[in-house]
């Protein structure tokens, strides 16, 4: 036990505690609640994918992989990006495999943000962006999404820009709200980013989970954006392996040189046999092409089963999260309500308020439907009793 931490160090993030995902998952365990809080699947991973990793280990692929990623995996990624986004970049210079999307985001922010640089962050926002910006001495500038439908308010983005703005961080499909960007949003982004000479950090980890026949608008589809953007992806989301923590970042080679300077000292390289397994599995298009159909069925099952409840769903066009408003049920703030439902009704969700910098209380909770159908049915039964 250190008696006087004051003299020993100064915290760089004094106001940051444990993430809400960890807090709610722990509470779900403690109270034996159904866990629809943290975003992870409760169903089995493909046995083929496991076998590919297993084979790679048995064949002796157990030492350091090359720093930018296994060439075989970069090749599979290139083919999947060409197939999906007509991407025709340089597989050796423009892709880096990272320790999950989290490491990619951190490396991109660290590579480019200097003390005093401002970074626009659209709120509610995934919780890793702001601490990473602050650790670089950067200044996060929050811009609220429209509280009605969580679309981008471009006039508010314009108002938040300054001489010091260096980067904008975007996320579509969006965690926690399930909203997505339209072509018009991408056109506005392209215009702002080019006029103001901004870097764009585009968190696209749910790129393959998009519903109702809509198309994911990747920065990789837009030449004006591509040259100034870093697009971040995660195998955890695409192949139901969140615990493997493997992702990748795609960026122009000039940007990638700088990103790799951080990556090589943060992580150096990523788990070799898992990269082999992912490369083989990703090479077969069937393994990712229908992910949206799989999750759309789960979203619809959840919505169908909670139709008679007092919760009101907010439109979810992508991701595996459904927001539910409890305006008609309680005045409790979101954190208190999430805690109350976990303890009293044995169902864990995530309050949306911690995804904002300032105080917020919209009476909305986030439920993860990346679950077996029977888990979804059980959860819906509980929700209908509340």
Between residues 89 and 100, which has the closer beta carbon with respect to ligand PLP? 100
CB of 169 to ligand PLP, least distance (A): 10
CB of 246 to ligand PLP, least distance (A): 7
Between residues 142 and 224, which has the closer beta carbon with respect to ligand PLP? 142
Report the alpha-carbon distance of residue 22 to residue 11 in Å, rounded. Answer: 21
CB of 204 to ligand PLP, least distance (A): 9
Find the binder of ligand PLP among 203, 207, 217, 296 (CB under 6 A).
203
Residues from 18 through 77 that contact ligand PLP (CB under 6 A)? 39
Residues from 214 through 253 that contact ligand PLP (CB under 6 A)? 234, 236, 242, 245, 247
Residues from 326 through 385 that contact ligand PLP (CB under 6 A)? none
Between residues 140 and 236, which has the closer beta carbon with respect to ligand PLP? 236
By CB under 6 A, which span of 56-64, 85-93, 94-102, 358-366 interacts with ligand PLP?
94-102
Between residues 99 and 273, which has the closer beta carbon with respect to ligand PLP? 99
CB of 241 to ligand PLP, least distance (A): 9
Residue 102 binds ligand PLP (CB under 6 A):
yes
Residues from 124 through 163 that contact ligand PLP (CB under 6 A)? 126
Residues that contact ligand PLP, how many (by CB under 6 A): 14
Residue 171 binds ligand PLP (CB under 6 A):
yes
Between residues 140 and 247, which has the closer beta carbon with respect to ligand PLP? 247
CB of 112 to ligand PLP, least distance (A): 18
Between residues 41 and 309, which has the closer beta carbon with respect to ligand PLP? 41
Give the residues lining the site for ligand PLP (CB under 6 A).
Answer: 39, 100-102, 126, 171, 175, 203, 205, 234, 236, 242, 245, 247
């Amino acid at each position: 036990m250190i008696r006087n931490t004051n003299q020993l160090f100064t915290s760089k993030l004094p106001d940051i505690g444990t993430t809400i995902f960890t807090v709610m998952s722990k509470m779900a365990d403690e109270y034996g609640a159904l866990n629809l809080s943290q975003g992870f699947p409760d169903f089995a991973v493909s046995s083929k994918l496991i076998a590919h990793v297993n084979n790679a280990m048995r064949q002796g692929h157990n030492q350091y992989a090359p720093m930018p990623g296994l060439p075989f995996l970069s090749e599979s990624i290139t083919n999947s990006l060409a197939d999906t986004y007509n991407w025709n970049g340089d597989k050796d210079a423009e892709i880096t495999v990272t320790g999950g999307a989290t490491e990619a985001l951190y490396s991109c922010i660290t590579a480019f943000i200097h003390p005093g640089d401002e970074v626009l962050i659209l709120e509610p926002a995934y919780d890793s962006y702001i601490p990473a910006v602050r650790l670089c001495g950067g200044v996060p500038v929050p811009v609220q999404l429209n509280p009605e439908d969580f679309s981008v308010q471009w006039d508010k983005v314009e108002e938040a820009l300054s001489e010091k703005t260096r980067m904008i961080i975007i996320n579509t499909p969006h965690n926690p709200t399930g909203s997505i960007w339209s072509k018009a949003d991408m056109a506005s982004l392209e215009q702002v980013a080019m006029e103001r000479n901004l870097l764009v950090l585009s968190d696209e980890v749910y790129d393959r989970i998009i519903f109702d026949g809509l198309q994911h608008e990747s920065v990789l589809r837009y030449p004006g954006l591509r040259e100034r953007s870093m697009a971040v992806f995660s195998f955890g989301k695409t192949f139901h392996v969140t615990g493997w923590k493997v992702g990748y970042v795609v960026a122009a080679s000039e940007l990638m040189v700088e990103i790799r300077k951080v990556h090589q000292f943060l992580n150096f390289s990523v788990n070799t046999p898992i990269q082999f397994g992912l490369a083989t599995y990703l090479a077969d298009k069937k393994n990712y092409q229908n992910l949206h159909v799989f999750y759309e069925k789960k979203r619809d099952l959840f919505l169908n089963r909670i139709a008679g409840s007092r919760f009101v769903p907010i439109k979810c066009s992508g991701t595996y999260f459904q927001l539910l408003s409890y305006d008609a049920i309680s005045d409790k703030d979101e954190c208190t309500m999430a805690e109350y439902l976990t303890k009293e009704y044995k169902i864990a969700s995530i309050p949306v308020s911690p995804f904002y910098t300032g105080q917020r209380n919209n009476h909305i909770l986030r439920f993860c439907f990346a679950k077996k159908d029977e888990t979804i049915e059980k959860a819906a039964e509980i929700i209908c009793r509340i």
